[in-house]
Structure 1
Amino acid sequence: MQDVIIIGAGPCGLSAAIECGRRGLTTRIIEKHCLVHSIFLYPTHMQFFSTAELLEIGDIPFPTPNDKPFRYEALSYYRKVAEHYNLSISQYEEAVSVERLPDHTFIVHTRDRSGTKQRYEARHVVISTGYFDHPNYIGIPGEDLDKVTHYFREAHPYTGMRVAIIGGSNSAVDASMELIRVGAQIDMIYRGETVSENIKPWVRPAFEAMVQKGKIKLHTQSMVKEISQLSLTIQGLDGTVTEIDNDFVLALTGFRPDRHLLASCGVELDGDMEKPLYNPETMESQVPGLYVAGVIASGRNANEVFIESGRKHGVHIAEHIMSTRAKH
């Protein structure tokens, strides 16, 4: 019987485990992939929007010579933090359901890579699953072709190719700037009037210059209607239909949290945004003893919670667990 089982070994899950451990609670983290898997899935050369201080957990300094740290630095940092606190982490083991028992304890049912099933007992459960496993699909013909991906890792495979980028967020802009360096021909298709207002301020001027020079062909107020092996079809809001020659498509349309674990143990989801009902002061859901931490707390709006804010959820959770134990 563990005091706390945390599902998800992202920064927010690690922070929750650290804060609970500091208060003498026994913890185990269940992670279906590798440590901080969402960060691992970021583009290889990605630089964070945040400063290192805002990514720190467990009062461990994040050393970096850069104004904003890079992905590879974050992977190293979180590995070292997990090692420093000797966190108990079961990697490559998926939590498939959470069962609440009549005595108000929980059983977490898991399955590892070999298919072996396990069950863990806990007095409290924290669900801190990320969202990079579940891209927002467009739902158009051809989206399932091999030439289409919802993940951009690095530019090299697209050297000299005709690449379409669907989206106008930081991920889309960053990808386009990397693709320019390998001589790709870039079409960026976005339904808004312009790219996101939240583009990194040190990237935006260079991106806009590339658009003005014709290095990036920007199709705003447009949507992709169909993808074929050698082209794709876009339609403007005015109804204009255009076919573009194309080799690869990066559908960078964002991701959404997986809510099946919340549903498995009876957590209510609020409205169209499917935001779990919880107390923001304690992070406890309406199921006593079950908490949410990190981006899963934001429902469909994955831009509502970031590492900077989600890393603090662990303190609220640990303090609330200790207060409930004191009452008993």
Structure 2
Amino acid sequence: IAPPLLLQIGAALADSLGALIVYVIARRVLPPRPALLAAAIYAFTAATYLTTWWSFDTHIITQSLYLLFIWGIIRAWEDWRAGQYRREWIAGLAALSAMVFLGHFGFLISSGTLLGLLIAIVWIARGLGLQWARAVSGPLTLAIGIGALFAIIFFYSAYLSMFLAQLDTARTGGLTAVAGRAPINREALWNNLWQAGLIAHYGLLPIPFALIGLWLLLRRQGWQITIGLMGLSFVVAIIFATLPFITQVSNSPRYLMALGWAIAIGTAATCDTLWQRGWVGRINVIGAGLFVLFNTCWYWLTPMLWRVRPPEPF
């Protein structure tokens, strides 16, 4: 089999597993039916169709590895708090983090930011004397550190001179000098975020639904690692969505794609709550679902029927 075809087959298999992994993650905080809805939301929003249309095979594979990595963090966290499988999960998370870091540079940036925030919170909690932080801070930091070190030594070190040159350029001329282009108008940045980002990726409505769902889960279940990772995923997305308006340089750390699992689970939680509130809530859920499906069909069919290029996922 030719390598490009093998890569496409691998991407198709990885993409098909994504919804299953989202279901498994969702079951940590949702009953079976809402968890199944979360998997469906992940599968049928337009974001994953955009990566398929562009044939971003390495991105698709890395995104599924990232979902598996998120699940691994959740399971390792629970086992470490129970005093179980310490070494096994250190090795497993180190391997998964290395694969994510090596799979796609955008996911290196977005997942690295997420993990940096998580590790910082854990060590602050440990400094405050919280028992759960004592159980997870050491193995979590060690696992991520091993994965990052492996990726740096065996791949990114080859580009060290380029990174240093870019840092020097940024220091003297700013990020626009690194990009080699004029500053982007903030209105154009907003239009791109609104149309190509919030609408094209998710059909807009799942995003407020997901934020409400995150609040509902936090209110009902209190803080736990799954809810914490969902919240941190939104924080990371806000950081990278805001950064271009400050630097006036576009970036593509795949933050909206990395947010997909959290949007799916949060939206499912909101839809489940609305569905139980009677016919008015059910009409809202059905209407929102139809709008999202129409949005997905639009961005999937228009390139085939009218050769309109869909926006590049980010």
TM-score band, normalised by shorter chain:
under 0.3
Higher relative contact order (CA 8 A, sep 6+): 2
Q: Which protein is richer in strand relative to its size?
A: 1
Q: So what's the TM-score if we normalise by structure 1? A: 0.25
Q: Which structure has the greater CA radius of gyration?
A: 1
Q: Which protein is richer in helix relative to its size?
A: 2
